[in-house]
Amino acid sequence: MNPKRLLQHFNEIAEAPDAVPRLRRFILDLAVRGKLVKQNPEDEPASELLKRILVEKDQLEKKGIIRKSLALAPSEGIKTPFEIPPSWKWTRLGDSIIDHKGGGTPSKNNSSYWDGEIFWASVKDIGKSKYVDQTIDRITKAGLDNSSSNLIPSGNLIVVTRMGLGKVSINRVPIAINQDLRALFISNLAAIDFYYIFFKTTSYEGSGLTVKGIKIEELLSLPFPLPPFPEQHRIVAKVDKLMALCDELEAAQQKREQRRDRLVAATLNGLGMDVSGMDVSGKDVSPKRPQSEGRDRSPNGPQLIKSGGFGETALPQFFLTHLPRLTTRPEHIQQLRQTILNLAVRGKLIPQDPNDEPASELLNRLRTHRAQLTAPRRKQKENSLGILKEAECPFELPNTWKWIRLGEVSTLITKGSTPTSYGHVFVKSGINFIKVEAIKDGRISAENVTSYISEETHEFLKRSQLQNGDFLFSIAGSIGTCAVVTNSILPANINQALAIIRGADAAFFVSFLQYATRSCLLELALAKARGGAMNNISLEDVRNFALPLPPLPEQHRIVAKVDELMAICDELESQLTGSATARHRFIEATLNEAIAI
């Protein structure tokens, strides 16, 4: 496959997010290998051009205009990284440039050296674009005269040699430079733009324990493929033309992705969830509307759902049929997952069954039962739960559902403790001590537990002892991370960043509670977060969380449907990963084949 054929196949690989950057790099690689334009046998060979450059340098040295060049190893001993055309010549970079200068930094303690009229460049000014027309900082004439900085005339190559190796730009205005930069003065017998292309394709690791840098001797000794002078200009012109084409391709790709994003949002909106005001995580970022506006007052949501469009097979089939064409990036799958959860906790994922016991009856039975068992302290905490206001209920629920506070359906909401606060110590092995980091993908795995306490400490910290079926919710740091405690990690305790929610299983099927947490509860928790070094919420906040409570049988049906749809998302994600991998391999193979010609 040749470069022309590669461009013909570009539409096949353009879906890859890095397709255009890869194509840009490919063009530059072809340029420095002599494969982008045809050689002209009438061009003066590069060997003769190099002789003329060396004569020019010798004359400038004799006149004292430039200093004597560093002695470099003979170019015949260069280890060449690739083949070049016969009319080109491998040489040392230092042989083909006229001169070079470093820089320095005026004293920061002297205000008279700064905020002057002279542009002063550092690493942060180089590599952002091809040309440097201004700098972030400026210095005065006194700052330039009283430092090791040098004023570099316009039209030279500025290379980063420390703290950002490989960055390069051409200065179009005179600039002073600092000690992390090197100015390379290119001969009038060579095209500076070709040298810029060379540095865009060259990587070097540098040396140093703390900050990597490249010594000037190493920089000047880099192998450099020197083309004939006329060919340098033809190469630069071709690169400019192809880069303009890449700009067009990139703009077209961005427009295509924007249209696809809008189409995904419109499709998900058709599923019964308005995502126009959501970011890819599902968080609502739309302007807030008055409570009387914008709510779907029907118990079963939009007409598409009400009419049975989300039957037992219609929804999965819809996903499988249409969404693979739309979900081309991981954030699309993430948005789809969040939409499924949002539909689930709004009662819009499956139809309601009129034979189910309403959530209000379930809640009344729980209240009666708990009134007989709870102590005065429990009653006091229940009484501290305010009456739910409409403003705290962010969306309408089906008639058989009910908004509740988490504290209403929990027998215990408390948090853990740190053993060292009470003079106890951690041990190398013993009782599991659970931290937020031990929770991965909604589960606690013994392999992720890294801290342990003794049996004595376990007994001392009775309040934070876990029981099978406890629901854990992070109230500090990664707020909202949650998991269900199973026998596999017991006995165990938790630290103060986790809250235990116990007894909610009488009202909630635990998997539905987790899905509700990942949907509406997490957003409410983050809205209440406060703190300095680490965000946190209080146990009182947790007790007062508002949650949608469906009938128990419906909770089980919802979880079954969510699991089914998440499996489809897994399939879509797997297909997406497979397609991306295949596309990357195709790009890699195609580029390597084209370069190897």
**Over the stretch 285-304, which tens digit does the pLDDT of each residue have?**
333 333 333 333 333 333 33
% of the chain surpassing 70 pLDDT:
74
Report which secondary-structure segment, H or E, holds 568: helix 552-595
Residues 198, 305, single domain; the answer is no
Residues 211, 77, single domain; the answer is yes
Residues 332, 386, single domain; the answer is no
Residues 134, 62, single domain; the answer is yes
Residues 216, 278, single domain; the answer is no
Average pLDDT rounded to a whole number, residues 516-531: 68
Tell me the CA distances in angstroms from 452 to 183, 366, 429, one per residue in order.
Answer: 58, 37, 6
pLDDT tens-place string over residues 457-490 = 999 998 889 999 899 998 887 888 889 999 989 9
Average pLDDT rounded to a whole number, residues 223-247: 93
pLDDT tens-place string over residues 336-387 = 788 788 888 888 888 999 999 999 998 888 877 666 555 555 554 555 677 7
Residues 476, 488, single domain; the answer is yes
SS3 for 62?
A: helix
d(CA 401, CA 397): 6
Q: How would residue 581 be classed by pLDDT, with cut points 50, 70 and 90? A: low
SS3 for 2?
A: coil
Average pLDDT rounded to a whole number, residues 57-81: 80
Average pLDDT rounded to a whole number, residues 190-209: 83
Largest CA distance in the chain: 105
Residue 496 has pLDDT above 50, yes or no: yes
Residues in contact with 281: Cβ distance below 8 Å, sequence separation at least 6, in sequence order: 334, 335, 338
Q: How would residue 593 be classed by pLDDT, with cut points 50, 70 and 90? A: low
Residues 460, 495, single domain; the answer is yes
The predicted pLDDT at position 422 comes to 87
- Residue 30 resides in a domain: no
The predicted pLDDT at position 325 comes to 56
Listed range (8-22, 175-189, 534-548, 583-597) with the worst mean pLDDT: 583-597
Residue 35 has pLDDT above 80, yes or no: yes
DSSP 38: -
The predicted pLDDT at position 333 comes to 78
Average pLDDT rounded to a whole number, residues 196-208: 80
The predicted pLDDT at position 249 comes to 79
Average pLDDT rounded to a whole number, residues 529-546: 76
Residues 270, 170, single domain; the answer is no
The predicted pLDDT at position 271 comes to 54
The predicted pLDDT at position 337 comes to 82
Residue 389 has pLDDT above 90, yes or no: no
The predicted pLDDT at position 445 comes to 81
- Residue 267 resides in a domain: yes
The CATH number assigned to the domain holding 207 equals 3.90.220.20
Mean pLDDT of the chain: 80
The predicted pLDDT at position 423 comes to 85
Residues 455, 531, single domain; the answer is yes
- Residue 39 resides in a domain: no
Average pLDDT rounded to a whole number, residues 581-593: 61
Report for 194-198, 410-414, 415-419, 575-579: range of highest mean pLDDT: 194-198
d(CA 400, CA 551): 7
Q: Which domain holds residue 535?
A: 359-550
- Residue 265 resides in a domain: yes
pLDDT tens-place string over residues 83-124 = 999 999 999 999 999 999 999 999 999 999 999 999 999 999
Q: How would residue 149 be classed by pLDDT, with cut points 50, 70 and 90? A: very high
Residues 407, 546, single domain; the answer is yes
Report which secondary-structure segment, H or E, holds 483: strand 482-484
The predicted pLDDT at position 395 comes to 84
- Residue 241 resides in a domain: no
- Residue 419 resides in a domain: yes
- Residue 406 resides in a domain: yes
Number of domains the chain is built from: 3
Residue 576 has pLDDT above 50, yes or no: yes
Q: How would residue 541 be classed by pLDDT, with cut points 50, 70 and 90? A: confident
First to last CA, the chain: 8
Average pLDDT rounded to a whole number, residues 236-254: 86
Report which secondary-structure segment, H or E, holds 560: helix 552-595
Which candidate, 439, 529, 432, places its Cα nearest to that of 482?
A: 439
Q: How would residue 237 be classed by pLDDT, with cut points 50, 70 and 90? A: very high
Residues 562, 425, single domain; the answer is no
Report which secondary-structure segment, H or E, holds 115: strand 114-121
Residues 322, 442, single domain; the answer is no
Residue written as token pair 């179009």:
172
The predicted pLDDT at position 283 comes to 43
